[in-house]
Amino acid sequence: MIEAIKLTKVFSKFTAVKDLSFQVQPGEIYALLGPNGSGKSTTMRMLLGLLRPTLGTARIMEYNITSNPEDAKRVMGYVPEEPVLPERLTGYEFINYTADIWRIPRGEKREKEITELLTLLDIEDASNDLIEVYSKGMSRKISLAAALIHRPRVIILDEVQAGIDPRGAATIKEIMTGLASQGATILMSTHVLEIAEQMCDRIGIINEGQMIAEGTMDELRAQARGQSSLEEIFLTLTGGPDMQRIADYLGEVT
C-alpha cells in the first residue's frame, strides 16, 4: 500500500504541496493527474524518499519512508520521468548490474527473468547495444525492465509511457494490469488522459499542490457535473483554456 498523510512541501516561500492525503491499495492502479507545476513530481519524490516532507507522513507498505527508508525502498520499483542511465553500458549490462544491486542470485533463474523482461518490452534485439544510442522510448523501456527485475510490490511510474510507440504503450498497460491483478500497488502520473482513463481503478487530480478531486471515473463525473470524458472532467476541475485570449490572439494574427 502507498499512503500519503497530510503531505506538505515548502521550498523557501513557495508551497509546492499542501496537506495532501490519499491511499493506493494493493491490487490497485492509481493515477495522479494535474497541470504542469501542480505538485505531482514533488509528491512522488516525497513518497520515494528523495525529498523530505516539510510536514506530514509518507508510508510504503507499513514503512515510514522518512524513518525507515531502506525497508520502504526495498519493496519499490521506480521509473522517473527523465531516466539518467549509464550510457557506456549495454541495456543487458545495466539490468544485470541492477540485479546485482538488489542481490538477486546469479544463475539460470535470473538470466531467464532478464530475458523475459527484454522480450516482453521488445528490446531484446537492442540489449547488447550501448545505452547511449537508445531513443527516448528505448531508454524508458530499459528503465522499466530494471525497475521490475526484483519483482517489487509497489511500483511508481512518472510519465513512463511518454515517447513510447503505441505497441510499447499497450505492452506496458498489459504488464501493469497483470501485476496489479497479482496484488502489486501501482501509482502513476501521466499527461495522456486516455491512458489514465483506460488503465486506472481510481484517479486523483491535484492543482496548486492540493487534491481537488478523487475517485473512480463515475465518482469524478459526479464531481464534475456529469462531464463524460476524463479530458472534460480535468478541464472542468482545473480550468480550461482561456478561449477569449485565444480568439483575441487569432484575430490579431489575422
Beta bridge partners of 33: 205
**Digit-coded pLDDT (tens) for 86-99:** 999 999 999 999 99
**Digit-coded pLDDT (tens) for 26-68:** 999 999 999 888 999 999 999 999 999 999 999 999 999 999 9
Q: What is the strand order of the sheet 55-60 is part of?
A: 14-24, 2-11, 55-60, 63-64
Section 10-39 average pLDDT: 93
Residue 5 has pLDDT above 60, yes or no: yes
Q: What local confidence, expressed as pLDDT, does residue 233 receive?
A: 85
Section 55-82 average pLDDT: 94
The secondary structure of residue 90, as a DSSP letter, is B
| pTM attached to this predicted model | 0.90
Q: What is the C-alpha to C-alpha distance for residues 129 and 90, in angstroms, rounded to an integer?
A: 5
Q: What is the C-alpha to C-alpha distance for residues 206 and 213, in angstroms, rounded to an integer?
A: 7
Pick from 42, 47, 10: which is nearest to 187 by CA?
A: 47
**Under DSSP, is residue 95 helix (H, G, I), strand (E, B) or coil?**
helix
Cα Rg for the chain, rounded, in angstroms? 20
H/E element, 146: helix 136-148
Residue 3 has pLDDT above 60, yes or no: yes
Enter the CATH code of domain 2-75+152-253: 3.40.50.300
| pLDDT: which is higher, 232 or 67 | 67
What cell does 90 get? Answer: 549495454
Section 196-208 average pLDDT: 91
Q: What local confidence, expressed as pLDDT, does residue 111 receive?
A: 94
Section 67-84 average pLDDT: 92
Which residue type is seen at 1? M
Beta bridge partners of 207: 210
Ordered by start, the domain boundaries in the chain are 2-75+152-253
Q: What is the strand order of the sheet 29-33 is part of?
A: 76-79, 154-158, 185-189, 29-33, 202-207, 210-215
**Digit-coded pLDDT (tens) for 96-126:** 999 999 999 999 999 999 999 999 999 999 9
110 vs 2, 7, 102, 139, 179, CA distance in Å? 28, 38, 12, 21, 19
Q: What local confidence, expressed as pLDDT, does residue 244 receive?
A: 66
What cell does 72 get? Answer: 520502504
Residue 10, φ and ψ in degrees, nearest 5: -115, 125
Section 186-212 average pLDDT: 90
Lookup result for grid cell 519512508:
65
Q: What local confidence, expressed as pLDDT, does residue 74 receive?
A: 94
Residue 254 has pLDDT above 60, yes or no: no
Q: What percent of the chain has pLDDT over 70?
A: 97
Q: Considering the chain, what is the average pLDDT of its residues?
A: 90
Give 183's pLDDT tier (boundaries 50, 70, 90). Answer: very high
